[in-house]
Amino acid sequence: MNDTPGSRPGSPGDAVMILGATSDIARALARAYAEARHSLVLTARRAEALERDAEDLRLRYGVTVDIVGFDLLDLAAHAPLLDRFPEAETVIMVAGLLGEQPRSAADHAEAERVMNTNYVAPALFLGEVANRLERLGRGTIIGISSVAGDRGRASNYIYGSAKAGFTAFLSGLRNRLAAKGVRVITVKPGFVNTRMTEGMKLPARLTAEPAEVARAIRLATAKGRDVIYVRPIWWPIMTVIGLVPERIFKRMKL
């Protein structure tokens, strides 16, 4: 496991672990938590991709930043990572893979990769986190899910089904841990202007910026919210979509 430790000046906030830390949303989250003086553990498959951001955060905010090369799909690596950073009492699962629906529908291996990256591996990792935080009696688990999981649509049902499973998992985890001192927050960003969506024609009113997602997560944590749509307009939209009768929905192009 490749890693580069940061200097350790200490931070008044608890340590925050961000999985999938090279994404634009994760980078915005790292800045927001560093600004609030939390030490950070940032993971990605290639630790070297995090080095520049990590050094900037250390210099700009004077916080500890550890970067770790970590493959979420390597299930045997989950427990050792958590063993190394027991001080991480806030864990944010940003890792995910949109994939391409036509390719996923035609290729079992690609569909499996999308499902494993968005549901199986994140759920198993956060399940291990939950067990540890439950014993500790405190902590916060934050999962980045998707509006795509609210109802299966032809345009992205492989990805959407995985996010639906992840949303249900987080809901059950929240129910289990509610009386144990551990918070579980589900985040549904909707469209976000990132490298992943570059080139897509996204409606401006429905499209958030990465920093906006980070602010919404920090606010949800402070306000004790359980499930958030980053832009509130997504709540009525997805409610209406969910209420459309199946006989009509199956004829819609979504």
Residue 254 lies in a domain: no
Confidence of residue 198 (pLDDT cuts 50, 70, 90): low
Mean pLDDT of 121-145: 97
Q: Give this prediction's pTM.
A: 0.91
pLDDT of residue 7: 35
Q: 61, 119, 159, 229: which is the annotated catalytic residue?
A: 159
pLDDT above 90 covers a percentage of the chain that reads 81
CATH of residue 143: 3.40.50.720
Position 12 pLDDT exceeds 60: no
pLDDT of residue 43: 98
Distance CA 136, CA 119 (A): 25
- Segment 134-151, tens digit of pLDDT: 999 999 999 999 999 999
**Residues recorded for the chain:** 254
Distance CA 78, CA 51 (A): 22
Closest CA to 195 of 23, 30, 52: 23
Position 5 pLDDT exceeds 80: no
Distance CA 216, CA 229 (A): 9
Residue 37 lies in a domain: yes
Provide the domain limits for residue 62.
3-249
Strands 191-192 and 65-69, bridge-based pairing: unpaired
Q: Is 159 a catalytic residue?
A: yes
Position 174 pLDDT exceeds 70: yes
Task: Specify whether the CB–CB gap between 142 and 91 falls below 8 A.
Answer: yes
pLDDT of residue 99: 84
Q: Work out how many domains the chain is built from and give that number.
A: 1
Q: How far is CA 139 from each of CA 15, 16, 130, 142, 206, rounded to the nearest angstrom? A: 10, 10, 9, 10, 31
DSSP run (H or E) holding 122: helix 121-136
- Segment 32-48, tens digit of pLDDT: 999 999 999 999 999 99
- 246: region left, alpha or beta (phi > 0 left; psi from -120 to 50 alpha): alpha
Task: Specify whether the CB–CB gap between 245 and 204 falls below 8 A.
Answer: no
Residue whose pair of structure tokens reads 């959407």 in the numeric block: 160
Confidence of residue 13 (pLDDT cuts 50, 70, 90): low
